[in-house]
Amino acid sequence: MQRTKQTPKIFIMYMIGYLLLMEWLIPLPEVTNTGYVPVFMAVAGFFFLVMFLQFPWWVTLLLMAGGMLFSIHTIFLDETLFTWDWWRALYLEGTTNIRFMLEGRWYGLSDMFRSFLFMLLLAIMSYLLYFWIVQARRVLFFFLFTVIYIGVMDTFFVYDGNLAIIRVFILGFILMALLQWDRLVYYFPGALQSRFVWFRWTTLALFLLALSTAVGLAVPKAEPQWPDPVPFMERTAGIDAPVGNGGGTVQKIGYGQNDERLGGGFEMDETPVFTASGGEVGYWRGESKNVYTGLGWESDTPEETAAASSLYDESVQTTRQTINVQMAEEHSGSFDFAFYPGSLQSIDVPDANVSLEVDQYTGLASTTALGDSYTANSYELTYQYPEFSVEQMQSASMEDPQHIRDHYLGLPDDLPSSIGQLTEEIISNENNRYDKVRAVERYLNSSEFTYDTSNIAVPERGEDYVEQFLFDTQRGYCDNFSTSMAVMLRTADIPTRWVKGFTKGTESQAGEDNTVYEVTSANAHSWVEVYFPGTGWVPFEPTRGFSSEFDYSQQQNTEENSDTTENEQEQQEEEQQNTDEEEQQQNEEDTAAAASSSGIPFWPFAAGGAAALGALLYIFRFTLIKKVMLLRFRHVRDAATFTSAFHSLLRLLRFAGFNRRDGETLREYGQRMDESFATEDMSTLVQEYEKIHYGGRREKESWDQILSVWTDMVHRVRT
């Protein structure tokens, strides 16, 4: 390394470089589990000082090593400095970690060793910055990368880079102004000899910097034109957005576990989940959730399991039925619980002693064998299939048991009051719980709402999922409808819970009394259960376009009942009037929850790819045009082809910025081109062209030679 005369100015510049490097360290504690950053800063400062003083290389090495050891000691070692134990601890650390490194066990490296490596990096950086600033006098790249680094830290991590970016800009510009001065002096020695020029230069630079900083701070700043890129990247990379930090996500339909954050569109997926054959099926129940957070559903019910589910009171008329379930290959081993119609009584798995543990609050029917969870792929379910009596529900009391009130009436404190007001309006004319529920169900089934699965909004922080759907978007799928119904009813003190599972599936008849249901991911669905004292949990279907699959029996002898019937008939007629779109939806069904696998949208990639391709084409357009030309005219066998080739060469030249001027003959133009590209090709070609078109000589023995001249000329053309 060439020795440079060290001046205070060089020291100042080098120290600005140090400060820039420190901007890299500041965010570290916030984004990694790095501690002791001041120690790293101090040791880096020490390295810079050692570097600046330009000792002989071995002194520099020794000093740096000493600095490293001392800081490692400060951070990690309890032993007294330079004692036998101290050395031994160090030695052990070193050998162990080097062994880990050689074995590729990167996670095994100790903090101490990583700190050592980091300090090594800082030492290298001190050397690099010395080279850039003192030797090369160029620092733009380091400056740019610092800016990018701060930008990335600010965008992707919690680190707030607002101040850092200002500091970096000020430091960077000062440094570049000083270096520019140095380069000027180097390239134009003597041109700037006045003693005060340096002072004036610096003052001017500082003044401009202060001015631009002030302007930069003062001008209004537009809101970001793009949303936060993080959710987008997470989505495209297939990472689940963390709760409360996501934008709109597109998911694949299916049955998932996490419902804390609902919303976003989804894509259809016809992967089979299971097939079943046997008795009657309404919906296949998975589990229910009871806590609405404003963004999605969670569960906080106590764990209380039994061997069978008890959804309905004894007074409900039920039939005992069995059904055989065969999990599809794609999903074998996916579920350690059973989906069941009605109220599940028992499970029978061939060749295994499997028993049920049904959560009494959520209804989740876990399958266990000998106390461990068991994943059954083929089993027979026995269940009670209900038929609800409308009269019983209409006449049910409003007195709910305490445990129901405890768990199924909760609402977020900040739930917008508009939801309650709307519900009040809807149910004001009804005087019993059943009719109220039906009124809300009808309201959601009305044409005010649209069933759609794509481009569904996701509530941002501070927005409410239900409010957004009811008053803002009014577009959505089952999660929107079912959650809205559950929440609306709760505002009217009606206990509800949100249930997810599958719809019946595609029904087909396989022999007498044996219906086969084929359930795919697209059948995933969510609905609402409402508690009626004396009846139990009764399912309702608020999603527009879905008809209720549950049996509600009623006698048509009271006016009220006939009202309801009419309503139901109206509803059914309306559904029949609905177009194919909705029939299709019947088949496509719905999602129940945030799916575990996120779909990757195609268009951003297509657009990005097209843009990248366009940019590439633009950058290499000249080369590309030449390639195409050479390919197109690789054979020239007659005058017409040669003419085309010649004209395309003229166009190429024009594209390269060499226009034939007004009044310039072809020959003059050719000579000018030959001068520009140091050749005689163009004149040769022009003469050939003249011979053909002014001389009328279209025949020629061999075109090879002229073609090679042409090819050579095409190669020579540069912008």
Partner 1 sequence: METERSGLQQVIENIERVVVGKREEIELSLTALLAKGHVLLEDVPGVGKTMMVRAIARSIGADFKRIQFTPDLLPSDVSGVSIYNQKTQSFEFRAGPVMSNVVLADEINRTSPKTQSSLLEALEEGSVTIDGQTRDLEQPFFVMATQNPIEYGGTYPLPEAQLDRFLFKLKMGYPTYEEELSVLNRVEQNHPIQELHEVLSLEDILKMQEQVASVYVDDAVKQYIISIVNETRTHRDVQLGVSPRGSIALMKASQAFAFLHGRDYVIPDDIKRLAPVALSHRIILRSDLQMVEKDGEDVIRDILSTLRVPLAGKEAVQ
Q: Does 695 bind partner 1 (CB under 8 A)?
A: yes
Least distance CB 630 / partner 1 (angstroms):
18
Least distance CB 232 / partner 1 (angstroms):
48
Among 117, 204, 208, 640, indicate the residue that binds partner 1 (CB under 8 A).
640
- Cα gap 548→478, rounded to integer Å: 13
- The token pair that represents 506 in the structure block: 């595609």
Q: Does 82 bind partner 1 (CB under 8 A)?
A: no
- The token pair that represents 126 in the structure block: 């001190």
Among 52, 689, 703, 710, indicate the residue that binds partner 1 (CB under 8 A).
689
Strands 251-252, 266-267: pairing is parallel
Nearer to partner 1, 141 or 694 (CB): 694
Tell me how many residues contact partner 1 (CB under 8 A).
20
For residue 53, count other CB atoms closer than 10 A to its CB. 12
Which residue carries 């759609």 as its tokens?
452
Q: Does 654 bind partner 1 (CB under 8 A)?
A: no
- Cα gap 575→581, rounded to integer Å: 11
Nearer to partner 1, 58 or 694 (CB): 694
Q: Does 690 bind partner 1 (CB under 8 A)?
A: yes
Question: What is the DSSP track for 14-48?
Answer: HHHHHHHHHHHHTTHHHHSS---HHHHHHHHHHHH
- Cα gap 27→45, rounded to integer Å: 18
Residues 6 or more apart whose CB falls under 8 angstroms from that of 167 comprise 19, 23
Q: Does 716 bind partner 1 (CB under 8 A)?
A: no
Nearer to partner 1, 270 or 664 (CB): 664
- What does each C-alpha distance from 503 to 283, 286, 319, 339, 352 come to in angstroms? 5, 11, 20, 11, 28
Among 8, 220, 462, 696, indicate the residue that binds partner 1 (CB under 8 A).
696
Q: Does 699 bind partner 1 (CB under 8 A)?
A: no
Q: Does 627 bind partner 1 (CB under 8 A)?
A: no
Q: Does 693 bind partner 1 (CB under 8 A)?
A: yes
- What does each C-alpha distance from 684 to 327, 667, 691, 707 come to in angstroms? 79, 9, 11, 11
**Stretch touching partner 1 by CB under 8 A, among 271-279, 290-298, 303-311, 658-666:** 658-666
Q: Does 632 bind partner 1 (CB under 8 A)?
A: no
Among 512, 662, 699, 701, indicate the residue that binds partner 1 (CB under 8 A).
662
- Cα gap 180→177, rounded to integer Å: 5
- The token pair that represents 61 in the structure block: 């090495």
Q: Does 644 bind partner 1 (CB under 8 A)?
A: yes
The answer to whether the CB of 297 falls within 8 A of the CB of 487 is no
Least distance CB 624 / partner 1 (angstroms):
21
Strands 536-540, 524-532: pairing is antiparallel
Q: Does 672 bind partner 1 (CB under 8 A)?
A: no
Least distance CB 218 / partner 1 (angstroms):
53
For residue 302, count other CB atoms closer than 10 A to its CB. 10
Among 405, 475, 691, 700, indicate the residue that binds partner 1 (CB under 8 A).
691
Among 257, 418, 446, 665, indicate the residue that binds partner 1 (CB under 8 A).
665
φ/ψ bin of 294: left (φ > 0), alpha (ψ from -120 to 50), beta (otherwise): left
Q: Binding to partner 1 (CB under 8 A): which residues in 29-68?
A: none
Least distance CB 668 / partner 1 (angstroms):
7
Least distance CB 616 / partner 1 (angstroms):
29
**Stretch touching partner 1 by CB under 8 A, among 135-143, 253-261, 434-442, 662-670:** 662-670
Nearer to partner 1, 467 or 688 (CB): 688
Which residue, among 210, 283, 293, has the nearest Cα to 258 in the 3D structure? 293
Q: Does 714 bind partner 1 (CB under 8 A)?
A: no
Nearer to partner 1, 443 or 710 (CB): 710
User: Applying CB under 8 A, which residues contact partner 1?
Assistant: 640, 643-644, 647, 660, 662-668, 689-696
